[in-house]
Structure 1
Amino acid sequence: MRRRTRYSLMLVLALLCQWSGTPERPMLGRVPDLTATPVLLDPADPKHVKVGALTFIGGVDLTSRDLAFGGYSSMTIDHGLFTLLSDGGTIVRFRIDERFRLSARAFGDLPVGPGNGWRKEERDSESMTRDPSSGQVWVGYEGYNQIWRYSPGLTLPAQMVAPRPMADWSVNGGAESMVRLHDGRFLVIAETNRRLPSQARSALIFDRDPIERPLKGFEFGYLPPEGYDPSDATELPDGRVLILNRRLDLPFRWSVVLTLIDPRHIRPGVTIRGREIARLAPPLTVDNFEGLAITRENGATMVWMVSDDNLLILQRTLLMKFRLDL
């Protein structure tokens, strides 16, 4: 009886040691369950494909029976391989052909990051950018206001830095957008952290890899369209930066605006406003778009956007493809 009691106490202690007071963050299973269902840009008019400087090529609604699927806030595309990173540190990879059929599906998880990874807040990965030459990947974390650099494929070893200019960025409004420019500089834009008293968002230019030189660079402001928050950015072949801005009007009425800025015009302390090139709003197919990337096809620039469904049944994980005509 005493031995049984001792074993029971040991089991209770073991469980208590594993319990942190908050539930474990959702984790994807080992079997990559993923389905793509085609969607139209305008459900009422299949011929409606032109929106500003964008021409709709196609899109899909990504679904999975895995309860941890969703929440994708950033995306990279490497020779046709898509990598979606959620705001909970989960990874989805796949290839998609010209008929929007999926292949090479794979699920994964960030190997390390802020905290021990038990809570979702410790893997609040909101932005991602990649060096096409080395394959290294940088991830921006909200809350901790850190930037982590991972080895190719988001693997170990990894290094991190907490840049001093980002120290006071708000818990839920930090490094939502991050771009490695072709000249080696890095551009980071906060989602909601403002350069008061204006509505311009706090933004940074690092003159090199922030992991190596976190203090080398300067601050400036990005002014998004009124009522919108910047959610991601990517560099175009000509060196300009395309910024994705999104807005929520209740109940669950999302809209997005794409703007262009030229890094050559950015100087320390200035506020720069993007030039609007496209606006998507209902009744068009639109959701909480937070991930942005480009590809090149036969000399044309293709813009890809993915939406963050916040793991809610009322939202969708949409992957949309457009041709950019400037």
Structure 2
Amino acid sequence: MRLSRRNVLIGGGAAAAALTCAGVALAQRPQAFGSATAVKVEAEPISQLSTTDPDRTRFGALQFRSGVDLRSPVSAFGGFSGLWRSGDGRDIIALADNAQWLKARIETADGRLAGLSGAVLSPLLLSSGTPLRRSRFYDTESLALSANAAFIGVERNHAIIRFERSRAGGLVRGVPIPVPEKLKDLPSNGGLEAIGIAPQRSALAGALVGLAEGGRGFILTGPRAGVFEVVRSGGFDTTDLAFLPGGDVVILERRFSLFGGFGCRLRRIEAASIKPNAGVDGEVIYESQASHQMDNMEGLAVHREGSEIVLSLISDNNFSALQRTLLLEFSLVE
């Protein structure tokens, strides 16, 4: 979701800066590239999550590993609302909300995030060759990848576009798939903020699952297809989801207030509780504080490194120079 505020405070706590937007979107979307384009990405390491307790590494059920503040001289860089990391954690795909996607290689130093290499921004195209940004599917908000396909969730004109994945990892032949009528009835700027593919051995058996910002959930494929509701609390809204290897779901939530700035929360929901007509809730495994280095966190990915389950978060800077594109990673403490 793109934030619209008349007076928006960017950042957290008393250190926030004010931005007057005259009732329009926080930043106008720049034009996406017409073809795959290599971009330069600079990174500033983030070694501590808490600015007031720099030695602290444990936060709820998460262990902070590292992070980077990503910047690029290219105005089309940013706006990332969806995230994927490969099984070994070395490759990354980030979906921007102006119908383009970033593909890059993760660089590390001493086991910590150090930056991105080989970064390429590419437009998303329909099977007809029409760029999504020039179609009614221009507002891309959520991303899920399988071995042979990628699914992109679209707000405003609510839809899911299925892309074939080439051997080189490119996305080709974007085609809308059937979606429930109840999904089409969602508010214009309150559509699918999150989609994910359940593990084959989980209770949902490889189903495609989506969550709208307001808590409405959809099991979109498989024998348990139907609608459910996620219990909301604390003023948080859904921004992404990711499945853990065992099938449980981690939901990324975001909260914004004029004086407090952006807040971030992660909840874990048991896979067996997600079924048609259910109301589901889950334990909070992390909630940010004003001293934590957070921004408008909208993308979540999960991968395994050895015995560790790694959760990665990326922020949507709304293409604003007053916000940051943060890539953070944590280990889940079971």
Q: TM-score, normalised by structure 2?
A: 0.80
Counterparts of 1:312 and 1:121, CA distance in 2:
24
- Select the structure of larger CA radius of gyration: 1
Counterparts of 1:34 and 1:120, CA distance in 2:
28
Cross-structure match for 1:126: 141
Of 186, 202, 221, the match for 1:169: 186
Counterparts of 2:283 and 2:209, CA distance in 1:
17
Q: Are 1:253 and 2:253 counterparts?
A: no
Cross-structure match for 1:325: 333
The residue type paired with residue 144 of structure 2 is: T
Q: CA RMSD in A?
A: 2.3
Cross-structure match for 2:39: 32
Across the two proteins, how many residue pairs are aligned to each other? 288
Of 159, 174, 187, the match for 1:158: 174
The alpha carbon displacement at 1:174 in A equals 0.4
CA shift in 2, pair 1:113/1:50, >3 Å = farther
More helix by share: 1
Q: Are 1:187 and 2:202 counterparts?
A: no
Percent identity of paired positions between Structure 1 and Structure 2: 28
CA shift in 2, pair 1:72/1:120, >3 Å = farther
Cross-structure match for 2:306: 298
Counterparts of 2:136 and 2:68, CA distance in 1:
29
The residue type paired with residue 32 of structure 1 is: V
Q: Are 1:86 and 2:96 counterparts?
A: yes
Counterparts of 1:246 and 1:113, CA distance in 2:
33
The one-character-per-residue Cα deviations of 1:289-315 (angstroms, maximum 9, x if unpaired) are 000001211211011000001111221
The alpha carbon displacement at 1:121 in A equals 6.8
Greater relative contact order (CA < 8 Å, ≥ 6 in sequence): 2
Q: Which moved more, 1:256-265 or 1:161-170?
A: 161-170
Counterparts of 1:69 and 1:206, CA distance in 2:
31
Gaps of 5+ in 2: 1-27, 200-204
CA shift in 2, pair 1:280/1:66, >3 Å = same
Q: Is the 8 A contact 1:138 1:149 kept in 2?
A: yes
Cross-structure match for 1:142: 155
Runs of 4+ in 1 over 6 A off after TM superposition: none
Counterparts of 1:312 and 1:300, CA distance in 2:
34
Cross-structure match for 2:117: 103
Counterparts of 2:324 and 2:268, CA distance in 1:
26
CA shift in 2, pair 1:299/1:118, >3 Å = closer
